[in-house]
A and B are shown apart, each in its own frame.
Chain A
């Protein structure tokens, strides 16, 4: 017996890239995260063959959950064929041998950067959100160990103060995306940089959402039927982006989150940000029926 017999050379030999010990750790941490909704669980966070900050947390969760039968959808900013989404989807399919899809309704596992699809997710679907910064307290407390203590004490006074100061200065809360939200009445979490439009979709949702930061080595979760409440004052309601009355230039559909596309003449047109749903809307316009699933928003209003 020689040392060479122990070490296997060359390519990763494990199914779905990660070895068994990495997957076991992730399964355990995901279970913990589900048990304490919104609470950040530290985990080792292995290196994966894409750069840190490019969805390595989401990718580790996807690689742990995927099976050869899992239908995987990957989106970035809502788009299936954005550079990084395409790269991650190709990698998962290559190492897991699983089918891929762009249809939210037929996907079993959806890995997303910064969007929640417009179509309502079912209890059997899992949404994996990539998280650049898991710590909602970072703007008021950049030190991770101090922030951890503040979560333990439910010490969110400075968060409220920050929101109050924004209202005093600007007349409204200026937080664009990643709106801090109270989960299950206990932990303030970042929903990842999803637009404000998407945060209500997490509230009492039927599906499981796992949020995972690779670089920062934290995982948190929103289990099904869990309260997710954006931090707002009683007299100043939560406001999503003013997209309800925008019309998609490609499909003529209205009432969904839109991408603004600047035009050469100085004007702008809009298109549906959820590219899978946008395609379905085009097919609907062209006469196909039963292509679109039920959506969270109807006529631009959250149902």
Chain B
């Protein structure tokens, strides 16, 4: 079946979708639950890029798309945008986070301690092939620490500010509905601070990593030091219509704060996102750090370049749109090409607009 035919295209489209779904098989609640419980970091990544914190919906989106990440994020975003905004949660303070992991590369030890939390950072990456032979991989039990660490450690940059090493940005007093919302407003440049941070939070992980890595390799002006990286849970504190403040639940969040060591004072770059996704926030914070006034327009670390090209739904959608028929614009260009070729073959007939040799430089 041709993909544009005189009639009958609709049937082919319908069958193509059926073929995809038939190969996926029925989606039972168990499959969704397995995805949610077995792949929490994938769920986190999808929730962050969708800017929708709901592990069940994220798992459903993954199950429905067979794990195609761009499709899953699009599904969630399209669902999210139709939902009412019933409340705007109170701002989350770094020190109020219930912290599972908090490390600083800037100091050997920091007030509150280096809390490694759950990580594969120091693991040997060896495939547990015995599982395929029927032998389950059973993780070794964790020995609890003698004294629990403080779940709400102070932030490193606070100490640095006290010691006049860094100037902390002034607190932004904007509240509630007045906070600019990237899902309700277009992104314009120079971008509002809220828009920048929201865009980084929603950015596609691979895209932000690619540009962040470019900045780290030397295409940026500032090399990052990880001042503080946190994996935590944040209370979603909202105002009930009856007037009481209450927590509607906890969401997993990641935050990275990186610093540049050039100049007299440290400069901060920051990023945060839903879910636990360390590579994303470190790369995003590095790009935030490199987005200075001197970042050249069009350079890979400049704000407009970064924010436009790491928007996952837009970039993936545009990329796959090239599969759509383009024969009208193609025809239009062929017409001009053939005309030029014809003129070159018979220059005498078209003397009036014949091409003119460019003068040598």
- With A3-B248, A145-B188, A259-B331 known to touch, is A8 a contact of B316 (CB < 8 Å)? no
Contact call A81/B9, Cβ cutoff below 8 A: yes
Whether a CB of chain A sits under 8 angstroms from the CB of B190 is yes
CA distance A49 to B333 in the complex (A): 32
- Nearest CB in chain B: distance from A137 CB, A: 14
Q: Are B82 and A53 in contact (CB under 8 A)?
A: no
A175 to B339, CA, bound (A): 12
Chain A 67-94 interface mask (CB, 8 Å, partner B; 1/0): 0000000001111011110110010000
Say yes or no: A53-B320 contact (C-beta < 8 A), given A83-B13, A171-B350, A236-B353: yes
Task: Say yes or no: A8 contacts B84, CB within 8 Å.
Answer: yes
Ranked nearest first, the 5 interchain pairs of A and B with the lowest CB-CB distance are A52-B317, A176-B333, A53-B321, A176-B332, A42-B186
- Using a CB–CB cutoff of 8 Å, the interface residues on chain B facing chain A are 3-10, 12-13, 74-75, 77-84, 86-87, 183-190, 240-242, 248, 297-298, 304, 308, 313-314, 316-321, 324-337, 339-340, 343, 350, 353-356, 358
Given contacts A44-B183, A172-B336, contact A51 B353 (CB under 8 A): no
Interface centre among B84, B308, B325, B328 (most CB of A within 10 A): B328
| CB–CB A143/B74 < 8 A | no
* A81, B10: Cβ atoms closer than 8 Å: yes
- A103 CB, nearest partner CB in chain B, Å: 14
Cβ of A12 and Cβ of B82 under 8 Å apart?
yes
Q: Judging by beta carbons under 8 Å apart, are B321 and A132 in contact? A: yes
Pick the contact of A241: B83, B320, B331 (CB < 8 A).
Answer: B331
List 8 additional A-B contacts (Cβ < 8 Å) besides A43-B186, A76-B4, A259-B331. A6-B87, A7-B86, A19-B81, A114-B328, A174-B340, A176-B336, A177-B328, A215-B318
Chain B residues, Cβ within 8 Å of A207: none
A217 close to chain B: CB less than 8 A: yes
Are A241 and B358 in contact, CB atoms less than 8 angstroms apart?
A: no
> A17 contacts the other chain (Cβ, under 8 Å)?
yes
The interface on chain A, measured as residues whose beta carbon lies within 8 A of the other chain's beta carbons, has a size of: 76
The chain B residue sitting closest to A43, CB to CB, is B186
B-side contacts of A90, CB under 8 Å: 10
Bound together, the chains give a CA A8 to CA B186 distance in angstroms of: 26
- Chain B residues with CB under 8 Å of A195's CB are 328-329, 331-332
20 contacts between A and B (CB under 8 A): A19-B82, A42-B188, A45-B186, A47-B313, A54-B320, A79-B4, A79-B9, A81-B9, A81-B10, A84-B324, A114-B329, A144-B308, A168-B355, A171-B340, A173-B336, A176-B335, A177-B333, A215-B318, A241-B335, A242-B335
Scoring A residues 112 to 125 as 1 if CB is less than 8 Å from chain B, else 0, what string do you get? 01110000000000
